[in-house]
A and B are shown apart, each in its own frame.
Chain A
Amino acid sequence: MTTTPNVIQAEERFLDDDELKLIRQVKQGNRHAYQRLYQLHCGRVYGICYRLLGDKTSAEDVVQEVFISVWNKIASYREESKFSTWLHSVATNLAVSHYRKRNTWWARFRSTEEVSFDEPGSCDEHEEHGLDVKIRRLPDQARMVFVLFAVEGFRHEEIADKLGIAVGSSKAQYHRAKNLLKEWIENE
């Protein structure tokens, strides 16, 4: 028997309480408290957006959109669920919405899906996780589905709903992504 889980739970509880104080200050319009909240969550939100969208500029724009939107909607956060869960849900929805808007007209200008915004070989690639580099190379829709399903843990029904596609298409895109990743990993 170990005491580690209790220590972790106590730490989480402390962080939650601390965060709750910040959230209540933000609800009163305190921008300094909001900056602190931003600093606590920015990395995770950027991670979600970057993996979903596959390019830095769009991800950065959406992160800003997320935090502006959360500032406006903070009064509707009822403190019944974890703030991070609520925040990540806002981030996912805005990233998907950004992708859907971009996809309608952007697709016309992109003859091939395989081209990514940040070309492989850019200096940051060396610091990136090997799997992240490959995820970024995936075709747009396959990448969105793969990240939502395998990394963020959404169900295919939820993904289909978010992306406005059939559940079968979501499953097919996931298998497409997995096959491409397998091919790239095996040919390394």
Chain B
Amino acid sequence: MNDAQFDQALKMQIDTLPKELAPERDLWAGIDHAIERQQSSQRFNFTKLTAVAAGVMVIGLTSWLTFKNVDLPSVRTTGQNLQYVNWMTESFEQQKQTLLVKYEDTPAMTDNWQEQLKQLDDAAKAIKKALAQDPSNAQLIKMLQQTYQQQLDLINAVNQDPWQMI
């Protein structure tokens, strides 16, 4: 048989090959079982996910209810606002004094830092005066907070050892 004859004979045999063959085992039972297991696992995962989501929501809601009044001065009463401003001022004064004592013997990096500090202090006083007229003004409270922070930053910046800064 030459190659061409063989190719033809082979093609004929291939054409008569059955397209379908029967497996010996029942394969469906295994497939059905695997699918069922996957579905149960997905249901379990969904339940777990729902539980986690519910937990996160409870924690989030509790946190929001707990802290919402702290970060929103505008919803405080006038009395609460004044109390908050006094507490903030006291705290600032204490920190300022501590820093000034700490840097008492340290040579400052600039000569006019006390002048700058005074300017910031005057600004704080002006804001406080305005707050006395309008105690529920959240913007003024925020400005006062920033002015205090700028003063503390300035004291730190001009009195720190330059080598430590590196």
Contact = CB atoms under 8 A, between A and B. Distances in A.
B18 A46 contact: no
Contact of A71 (B17, B22, B35): B35
Contact of B27 (A31, A42, A129): A42
A60 B23 contact: yes
Contacts of B13: 130-131
Nearest to A63: B27
A67 B28 CA distance: 9
B75 interface: no
A137 B121 CA distance: 96
A63 B23 contact: yes
Interface in A106-130: 124, 129-130
B21 A64 contact: no
Given A42-B27, A63-B23, A178-B10, A68 B17 contact: no
A64 B1 contact: no
B72 interface: no
A44 B19 contact: yes
Contact of B31 (A46, A68, A186): A68
Nearest to B1: A186
Given A178-B10, A182-B6, A186-B1, A64 B17 contact: no
Contacts of B10: 150, 178, 181-182
B35 A31 contact: yes
A129 B14 CA distance: 10
B152 to A, nearest CB: 60
Given A60-B27, A64-B30, A43 B22 contact: yes
Nearest to B20: A43
Nearest to B34: A68
Name the interface size band of chain B: 20 to 34
Contacts of B16: 129, 131
A50 B21 contact: yes
Contacts of B35: 31, 34, 68, 71
Interface string A148-188: 00110000000000000000000000000010011001100
Nearest to A34: B35
Contacts of B22: 43, 46
B31 A47 contact: no
* Max chain A Cβ within 10 angstroms of own Cβ: one of B14, B19, B27: B27
Contact of A46 (B14, B23, B34, B38): B23
A38 interface: yes
B30 A47 contact: no
Ordered nearest first, which 7 A-B pairs have the shortest CB separation?
A: A43-B20, A47-B21, A131-B13, A67-B31, A46-B23, A68-B34, A64-B30
9 contacts: A35-B28, A46-B27, A47-B18, A56-B23, A64-B27, A68-B31, A131-B17, A178-B7, A181-B10
Interface of B: 1, 6-7, 9-10, 13-14, 16-25, 27-28, 30-32, 34-36, 38-39
